């Protein structure tokens, strides 16, 4: 079975189109984040894996093995409402939203930089540990897809 990767040009372009369809008033299908908070959450997650945002959060061995396998290898949707690390939670320690347009510009720039690195020189993922190129591609796709789906785009 193959999995979508953000490093595939057609997948990256499709995600970019979906990001462009996200609006500040897009309603969440689940969870407590607003669309604007989700944009900042996604940007913070990318800053974290690009090594630009520190985190003290470290998952336990179970999450690093079982969680990693389930999240990156099983063809099932990610569960809804899972608590995230405080460093990327906009209500607890994540970057506060500014203007939607500015935060979207930042997110798009971070996505482009992440794709440009193609999984090289990434920081250790705080939940899944050190990832391979393929796992980074799947994580990038699945994380963005999860939150875009959350807002119906």
Residue 2: predicted pLDDT = 60
Locate the domains of the chain by residue range.
9-150
Q: Is the pLDDT assigned to residue 83 strictly greater than 80?
A: no
Q: Are 49 and 114 in contact (CB under 8 A)?
A: yes
CA distance 127 to 135: 13
**How large is the greatest C-alpha to C-alpha distance in the chain, in angstroms?**
40
SS3 of 29-94: CCCCCCHHHHHHHHHHHHHHHCCCCCCCCCCCHHHHHHHHHHHHHCCCCCCCCCCCCHHHCCCCCC
Q: Quick one: average pLDDT of 45-57?
A: 88
CATH code assigned to 9-150:
1.20.120
- Decide: pTM greater than 0.85: yes
Separation between Cα atoms, residue 44 and residue 90, nearest integer Å? 9
pLDDT higher than threshold 60 for residue 1 = no
Question: What's the whole-number mean pLDDT along residues 80-103?
Answer: 86
- List the structure tokens of 26: 């897009």
Please determine, for residue 21, whether its predicted confidence score (pLDDT) is greater than 70. yes
Query: pLDDT per residue over 105-125, tens digit each?
Result: 999 999 999 999 998 989 989
């Amino acid at each position: 079975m193959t999995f979508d990767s953000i490093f595939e040009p057609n997948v990256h372009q499709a995600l970019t189109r979906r990001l462009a369809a996200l609006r500040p008033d897009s309603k969440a299908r689940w969870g407590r984040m607003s669309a604007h908070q989700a944009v900042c959450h996604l940007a913070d997650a990318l800053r974290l894996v690009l090594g630009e945002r520190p985190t003290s959060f470290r998952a336990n061995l179970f999450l690093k093995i079982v969680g990693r396998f389930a999240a990156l290898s099983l063809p099932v949707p990610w569960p809804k409402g899972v608590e995230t690390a405080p460093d990327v939670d906009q209500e607890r320690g994540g970057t506060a939203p500014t203007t939607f347009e500015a935060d979207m510009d930042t997110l798009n720039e971070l996505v482009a930089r992440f794709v440009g690195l193609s999984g090289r020189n990434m920081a250790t993922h705080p939940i899944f540990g050190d990832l391979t190129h393929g796992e980074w591609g799947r994580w990038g796709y699945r994380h963005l897809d999860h939150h875009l789906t959350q807002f119906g785009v």
